[in-house]
Amino acid sequence: MKETILIVEDEKDIVKMLDYNLKKEGYKTLVAHDGEDALDMANTKLLDLILLDLMLPGVDGLEVCKELKSERKTASIPVIMLTAKSQESDKIVGLELGADDYVTKPFSPRELIARIKAVLRRGKEKEKLPEVIKIGGLGLDFSKIEVTVKNKPVELTSKEFELLKTLIKAKGRVLSRDYLLDNIWGFDHAMEIQTRTVDVHIRTLRKKLKSAAKYIVTVKNYGYRFEYED
Ligand code: CA
């Protein structure tokens, strides 16, 4: 699965360079030219990493970082700051605010890609769900692929199980039908598999989950999210 990286930078030449090198490395890219755009995208798109320039018009990079890391919905998205040498103190503030790493301009694409890979790898380790989780009356055992509702076992198909797992993993973020389709049915799904396949599986999943079905929330015209209670 291709990871999606959001590039937050106002300088067009740098955006172009980053976009080219990230795509070459096999990542999907999105671009935000200012801080507000970046926050908007972080809240609506499913991102694996954010490359955040600190010098932005309007809401600056540090403010963006602070907002991202203080919202539960976006706090887990790794952030790599792009800084200038003269911004040494900002770099420290950024790391204190929760940024995962920084790269000082000018940097080589190779150096940046290496940092990205390291941060993504660390993120995956952290994101690993515990083998057994309990959310209200819903219990999941990932090693045994078992689901229970109020301690009674529920028989799910492998796709239904994957769907439930993917939604839980997103920790409250909204997942689009297309995203679910790509991730659960794969890029090579047959032509006849349409996005309504997702709806059909959600419907059967909800039926089986009974009282725990309330955790799966429909986001109209877009997709689904898992109402996650800590
Ligand atoms: Ca800039």
Running along the chain, 230 residues long, what does each successive block of 10 average in pLDDT? 91 96 96 96 91 94 95 88 85 88 92 94 76 90 91 94 91 84 70 76 96 93 81
Gap from CA of 34 to ligand 1 centroid (Å): 9
Domain end (from 126, 147, 162): 126
Asked if 116 and 28 count as a contact pair (C-beta separation under 8 A), the reply is no
Same domain, 55 and 158: no
Distance of CA 203 to the CA centre of its chain: 24
pLDDT of residue 108: 93
Gap from CA of 67 to ligand 1 centroid (Å): 18
Gap from CA of 206 to ligand 1 centroid (Å): 46
Same domain, 183 and 121: no
pLDDT of residue 229: 63
The total number of structural domains in the chain stands at 2
CATH number of the CATH domain containing 102: 3.40.50.2300
Same domain, 37 and 146: no
Q: Is 140 helix (H, G, I), strand (E, B) or coil?
A: strand
Same domain, 116 and 18: yes
Same domain, 15 and 93: yes
Residue 114's domain spans which residues?
4-126
Same domain, 216 and 163: yes
Question: Do you find a cis peptide bond into 106, omega within 30 degrees of 0?
Answer: yes
Same domain, 120 and 139: no
CATH number of the CATH domain containing 185: 1.10.10.10
Gap from CA of 123 to ligand 1 centroid (Å): 26
Same domain, 115 and 209: no
Same domain, 138 and 115: no
Domain end (from 76, 109, 126): 126
pLDDT of residue 88: 80
pLDDT of residue 127: 67
pTM score: 0.66
Gap from CA of 29 to ligand 1 centroid (Å): 18
Gap from CA of 162 to ligand 1 centroid (Å): 40
- Work out the number of other CB atoms within 10 angstroms of the CB of residue 7: 23
Same domain, 147 and 209: yes
Gap from CA of 216 to ligand 1 centroid (Å): 39
Gap from CA of 82 to ligand 1 centroid (Å): 9
pLDDT of residue 46: 85
Distance CA 109, CA 104 (A): 12
pLDDT of residue 51: 98
Same domain, 141 and 52: no
* Residues by chain with Cβ below 5 Å of ion ligand 1: 10-11, 53, 55
Domain end (from 126, 147, 182): 126
